[in-house]
């Protein structure tokens, strides 16, 4: 029963790790130049063969290995032997293996390379695994469900080991120095995405001078960053994002001239960002977002001329952008969003950033006009400048950004909406355009040719909410054949809802709430193809949008959208002056999840056909003049978690059964003629009481799920650390929160 609504909630790992993957690959190639070419020379050792068989017998898989006893085990799939017939390599990646790793594996004492990555192996590692496999050079057990502590029963890494990847398992405990000590040749150590705790084991650098790559991210490491890393003189990549690490980056960190990547996002790193960091001239990636950094961006940051990713968003940085920044000419991604940076943006020359693809300066204190020099960054695909204090108009120069697909400048003080639309329609690649909270009290041109015949050919999301715009809902919107999401809420649009909206082939999220719209709800508008027809409903846009849309940026565990398909299909028409009946055709909207018609002057009965909307999760019909009974068929709406008909003239018994047993009295108050549970007014004794409007009732009137369109802009994609992305489904809200506006700042 949950499946249906959870189709949205894709848990996807945001990659961004391609960079490091390449590095890891480079390490492999460096270390194991003869991969795949090794062939068997002698026939298989009996002990090894029997051990392999008992390993295999200990697990199950849906596609069996062709390990036939009649064949020399050195020819078995995934097995290679050394010249003496001993198994030297066991490579069973992604073979669907399920179960425990048999203790027999410890007999394969000549193993040099072991990979069991991307299976469903579970349980603890066999006792003394590493002590037994003392010739091991590389081990990859990543992406399984292995658990337990590493140093159990005095185990420790073997002396020849170069590469250890235990990432994405359920290992726990401290990474003990006795476990690491013998590993004098270690090059790469990845324990990310487990449950390790304690201080980061920088002691690893004392044991091996050859370490290039360390990844501790996504664990529960705590304490401060130890000084020890300063001795890792070959270190290129150091990641420890999403732990609970405190304090500042230690000074000797900045002597690591080989460092190419520092990635510590999502911790509690505090204090100013030391100017020493500009000595790390090999740095390509600096990710310290979502920490507690204060003070200015080091003014010599331009010395980091190899920087490609500079992600410092969600800190408390202040001051102006250093002029030297323009010397970081290799930048492809720049994110300073959600800080307290200030200064006149138009004073910055962005024209050196020939490779810049995304720039996010949103939620800061920048002022001045839109920086025209940004328009000379030929590779830009995403710009976010929302929630600053920018003034002026959008200038025609922006049309030279022909790759621009995401543009958000919401919540500033721009003027001339008509000019802005005319100019931006020339950015042919625009897919997401967020202009809300600007252009206050202007009138939006209704001229058909404001947007040329090929204007906005790719626009999927248009947000123009909270501008107090007046006029009619403009006819040029009818040309936006790719539009999927339209937010015109909180304006002062008048007139009827145009019928042509109902034929926009891709529209599945329509928010016209809180305007001055009048007239009747037409059957045409209720015929949005994407909400009506199955084949259309399946065409939801699954591609990623350029910058994720965060809902509550200050909270890391909050929801973010980076796919449109995660948005609930919805129509919000609440807070207008609509009148007349709800047409029975409403029953066509089979794929809608949220419907809000509250706070209008709608009348007549609630059509029984609403019970055909079997995907409905939220339905708000409160604050209207509906009469008659609540159709009892509504109890068949199994996903309905939020429902209100408060303040109408409904009468008769409240349906019982199904989701109706879960709604509180707030859903029904203000209808003197209603009786039954949960009002506690027996149906035999109708005329006695008249319910008053309680505060809880008021709250239930607010049914909107999302506001990110209007405001909803946070900051960018996490680059190197996987971020679990969830769709906003009502199932994820705790009970009781169903009717409240889940709301957001930027
Ligand atoms: C076993 O399967 C592997 C991969 O599917 C194949 O390369 C190998 O030749 C097979 N071995 C035998 C003995 O059939
Ligand atoms: C460590 O492993 C994770 C997978 O669990 C991977 O995403 C990450 O890129 C690896 N770290 C490095 C530095 O290669
Ligand atoms: C940028 O680099 C050039 C050449 O290295 C240097 O002359 C200039 O001063 C730098 N600009 C800033 C603002 O640091
Ligand atoms: C708005 O912008 C357009 C296009 O740039 C321009 O032609 C027009 O004069 C502007 N209107 C006002 C009132 O500034
Ligand atoms: C972050 O959000 C999650 C889920 O919405 C909530 O449980 C948690 O308490 C929030 N944390 C903070 C610090 O606000
Ligand atoms: C819009 O920006 C102002 C400051 O410029 C800020 O105070 C306000 O919180 C922002 N609005 C939203 C909804 O974030």
Q: Which ligand is nearest to the CA of 80?
A: 1
Q: In whole angstroms, give the CA distance from residue 544 to residue 564.
A: 8
**Ligand in closest contact with the CA of 438:** 6
- For the Cβ of 78 lying below 6 angstroms from any atom of ligand 1, the answer is no
Instruction: Please give the pLDDT value at position 28.
Output: 44
Distance between CA atoms of 8 and 3, rounded to whole angstroms? 9
8-state DSSP, 561: E
**How far is residue 628 from each of residues 574, 618, 634, measured CA to CA in Å?**
21, 21, 14
CA distances from 580 to 501, 590, 600, 638 (A): 19, 22, 10, 28
73 lines ligand 6 (CB under 6 A): no
Ligand 4 centre and the CA of 472: distance in Å? 20
Q: Domains of the chain: which residue ranges?
A: 30-259, 606-746
How high is the pLDDT of residue 455?
83
Sign for the CA dihedral angle at 608, 612, 613, 617 comes to positive
Nearest atom within ligand 2 for CA of residue 193 = 5
* Conformational region of residue 37, where left means phi above 0, alpha means psi within -120 to 50, and beta covers everything else: alpha
- Ligand number with the minimum distance to the CA of 91: 1
The pLDDT assigned to 535 comes to: 62
Let me know if domain 606-746 sits in CATH 1.20.140.
no
Phi, psi of 351 (to 5 degrees): -70, -10
CA-based nearest residue to 264, from 302, 228, 314, 329: 314
The ligand minimizing its distance to the Cα of 75 is 1
Length of the chain as a residue count = 746
pTM as predicted: 0.82
Q: Are 742 and 555 in contact (CB under 8 A)?
A: no
The terminus-to-terminus CA distance of the chain in angstroms comes to 34
Q: Return d(Cα 278, Cα 276) in angstroms, integer.
A: 5
Residue located nearest, by CA, to atom 3 of ligand 6: 387
Which stretches in the chain have pLDDT values below 70? 1-42, 535-566, 685-746
Q: Is the CB of 422 under 6 A from ligand 4?
A: yes
pLDDT of residue 549: 54
Question: Going by DSSP bridges, is the β-strand pair 642-644/470-472 parallel, antiparallel, or unpaired?
Answer: unpaired
The per-residue pLDDT for 3 is 31
Considering only CA atoms, which residue is closest to atom 7 of ligand 3? 327
Ligand 5 atom 11 nearest Cα: 555
Q: Whose CA is nearest to atom 13 of ligand 4?
A: 416
* Residues 158, 185: Cα–Cα separation, whole Å: 9
Is 608 within 8 Å of 586 (Cβ atoms)? no
C-beta 302 within 6 A of ligand 3: yes
Q: Is the CB of 745 under 6 A from ligand 6?
A: yes
Instruction: Label residue 167 left, alpha or beta by phi (over 0 means left) and psi (-120 to 50 means alpha).
Output: beta
Residues 6+ apart with CB under 8 A from 157: 130, 164, 179, 180, 181, 182, 183, 186
Question: Which ligand is in closest contact with the Cα of 66?
Answer: 1
The residue whose CA is least distant from atom 7 of ligand 6 is: 387
| Best mutation site among 15, 167, 287 for ligand 2 pocket (most ligand atoms within 8 Å of CB) | 167
Q: Residue with the nearest Cα to atom 12 of ligand 4?
A: 416
Task: Identify the pLDDT of residue 675.
Answer: 94
| pLDDT at residue 1, as a whole number | 31
CA distance 111 to 103: 14
Note the CATH architecture for domain 30-259: Alpha-Beta Horseshoe (3.80)
| pLDDT for res 684 | 75
Look at residue 11 in the predicted model and tell me its pLDDT.
Answer: 33
Do 715 and 384 contact (CB within 8 A), yes or no?
A: yes
Angle at 338 between CA 510 and CA 238, to 5 degrees: 115
| CA nearest to 434, candidates 500, 347, 529, 363 | 363
Residue having the nearest C-alpha atom to atom 4 of ligand 2: 167
Name every residue whose Cβ is closer than 8 Å to that of residue 647 and which is 6 or more positions away in sequence: 622, 623, 624, 669, 670, 671, 693, 697
Tokens at residue 365, please? 């204190």
* Greatest extent of the chain over all pairs of C-alpha atoms, in Å: 96
Give dist(CA 354, CA 531) in Å, integer: 42
Q: Does residue 516 have its Cβ closer than 6 Å to ligand 3? A: no
Residue nearest (by alpha carbon) to ligand 1 atom 3: 77
pLDDT at residue 704 in the model: 31
**Beta-carbon neighbour count of residue 399 at 10 Å?**
16
Our mutation pick for probing the ligand 3 site, out of 327, 331, 350, counting the most ligand atoms within 8 A of Cβ, is 327
Spell 573-590 as b/e; 16+ CB within 10 A means b: bbbbebbeebbebbbbbe
The best mutation among 39, 69, 71, 77 to test binding of ligand 1, ranked by most ligand atoms within 8 Å of the C-beta, falls on: 77
Domain 30-259 and domain 606-746 have a common topology: yes
Phi, psi at 6, each rounded to 5°: -85, 0
């Amino acid at each position: 029963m949950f499946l249906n609504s959870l189709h949205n909630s894709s848990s996807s790992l945001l990659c961004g790790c391609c960079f490091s993957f390449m590095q890891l690959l480079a390490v492999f190639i460096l270390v194991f130049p003869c991969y795949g070419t090794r062939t068997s020379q002698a026939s298989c050792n009996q002990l090894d063969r029997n051990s392999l068989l008992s390993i295999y017998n200990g697990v199950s898989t849906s596609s069996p290995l062709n390990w036939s006893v009649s064949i020399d085990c050195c020819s078995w799939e995934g097995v290679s032997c050394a010249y003496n017939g001993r198994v030297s390599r066991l490579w069973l990646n992604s073979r669907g293996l399920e179960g425990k790793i048999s203790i027999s594996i410890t007999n394969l004492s000549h193993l040099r390379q072991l990979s069991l990555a991307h299976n469903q192996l579970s349980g603890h590692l066999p006792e003394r695994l590493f002590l037994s496999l003392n010739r091991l050079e590389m081990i990859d057990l990543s992406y399984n469900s292995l658990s337990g502590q590493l140093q159990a029963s005095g185990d420790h890494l073997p002396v020849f080991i170069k590469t250890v990847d235990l990432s994405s398992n359920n290992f726990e405990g401290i990474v003990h120095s006795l476990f690491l000590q013998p590993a004098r040749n270690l090059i790469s150590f990845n324990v990310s995405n487990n449950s390790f705790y304690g201080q980061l084991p920088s002691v690893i650098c004392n044991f091996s001078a050859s370490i290039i790559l360390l990844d501790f991210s996504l664990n529960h490491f705590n304490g401060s960053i130890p000084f020890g890393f300063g001795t890792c003189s070959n270190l290129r990549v150091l990641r420890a994002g999403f732990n609970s690490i405190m304090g500042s980056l230690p000074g000797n960190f900045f002597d690591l001239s080989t460092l190419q990547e520092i990635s510590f996002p999502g911790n509690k790193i505090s204090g100013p960002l030391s100017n020493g960091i500009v000595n790390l001239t090999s740095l390509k990636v600096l990710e310290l977002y979502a920490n507690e950094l204060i003070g200015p961006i080091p003014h010599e940051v331009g010395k980091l001329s190899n920087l490609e990713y500079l992600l410092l968003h969600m800190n408390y940085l202040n001051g102006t952008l250093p002029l030297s920044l323009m010397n970081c000419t290799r930048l492809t991604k720049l994110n300073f969003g959600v800080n307290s940076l200030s200064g006149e943006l138009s004073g910055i020359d962005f024209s050196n950033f020939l490779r810049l693809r995304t720039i996010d300066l949103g939620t800061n204190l920048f002022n001045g006009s839109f920086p025209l020099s940004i328009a000379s960054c030929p590779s830009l695909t995403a710009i976010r400048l929302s929630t600053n204090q920018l003034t002026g108009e959008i200038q025609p120069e922006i049309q030279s950004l022909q790759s621009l697909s995401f543009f958000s400048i919401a919540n500033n003080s721009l003027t001339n909406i008509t000019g802005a639309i005319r100019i931006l329609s020339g950015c042919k690649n625009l897919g997401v355009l967020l202009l809300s909270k600007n252009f206050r009290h202007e009138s939006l041109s209704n001229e058909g040719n404001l947007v040329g015949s090929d204007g906005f050919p790719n626009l999927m999301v248009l947000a123009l909410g909270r501008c107090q715009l007046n006029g009619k809902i403009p006819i040029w919107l009818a040309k936006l054949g790719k539009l999927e999401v339209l937010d015109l809420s909180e304006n002062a649009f008048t007139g009827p809802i145009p019928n042509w909206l109902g034929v926009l082939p891709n529209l599945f999220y329509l928010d016209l709430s809180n305007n001055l719209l009048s007239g009747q709800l037409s059957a045409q508008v209720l015929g949005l193809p994407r909400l009506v027809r199955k084949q259309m409903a399946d065409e939801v846009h699954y591609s990623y949008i350029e910058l994720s849309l965060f809902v509550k940026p200050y909270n890391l565990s909050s929801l973010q959208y980076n796919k449109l398909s995660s948005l609930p299909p919805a129509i919000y028409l609440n807070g207008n002056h609509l009148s007349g009946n709800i047409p029975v055709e409403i029953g066509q909207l089979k794929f809608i999840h949220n419907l809000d018609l509250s706070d209008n002057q709608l009348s007549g009965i609630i059509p029984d056909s609403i019970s055909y909307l079997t995907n409905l999760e939220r339905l708000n019909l409160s604050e209207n003049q509906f009469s008659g009974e609540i159709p009892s068929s509504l109890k068949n709406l199994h996903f309905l978690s939020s429902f209100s008909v408060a303040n109408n003239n409904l009468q008769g018994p409240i349906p019982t059964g199904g989701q109706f047993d879960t709604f509180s009295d707030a859903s029904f108050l203000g209808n003197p003629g209603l009786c039954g549970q949960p009002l506690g007014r027996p149906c035999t004794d109708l005329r006695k009481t008249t319910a008053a409007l309680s505060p809880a009732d008021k709250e239930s009137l607010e049914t909107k799920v999302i506001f990110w369109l209007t405001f909803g802009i946070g900051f960018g994609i996490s680059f190197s650390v996987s971020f679990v992305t969830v769709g906003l489904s009502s199932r994820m809200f705790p009970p009781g929160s169903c009717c409240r506006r889940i709301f957001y700042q930027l």
